[in-house]
Amino acid sequence: MKVQVDSTKCDAYGLCADAAPQVFELDDFGYAAVRNGGVVQDEDKAAAEEAVRACPVQAIRVLED
Ligand code: SF4
């Protein structure tokens, strides 16, 4: 699984990093970036999918399953 954050949509809610801190990190202003180039380890997949659902502005895109 691979994910990407659309920085034009991200509104710094921070819910993705709460749901999947292994996958997303926040900058000093609360905007999200992916860790590890967006590659999600198998054991983090459920958390990443939860982050996708949690984002209030649908800023997280799944590139590969
Ligand atoms: S939950 Fe969505 S809007 Fe909030 S920081 Fe993450 S990507 Fe950005």
Euclidean distance between CA atoms 4 and 24, whole angstroms? 10
| Pocket-forming residues, ligand 1, beta carbon under 6 Å | 5, 10-16, 32, 54-55, 57, 59-60
What is the atom index within ligand 1 of the atom nearest the CA of 11? 3
The ranges assigned to domains in the chain are 2-64
Tens digits of residue pLDDT in 14-60: 999 999 999 999 999 999 999 999 999 999 999 999 999 999 999 99
21, 28, 29 from 47: Cα distances, Å: 9, 23, 23
Q: Which atom of ligand 1 is nearest to the CA of 12?
A: 5
- pTM, entire model: 0.94
**pLDDT interval class at 64 (50, 70, 90):** confident
Q: What is the CATH number of domain 2-64?
A: 3.30.70.20
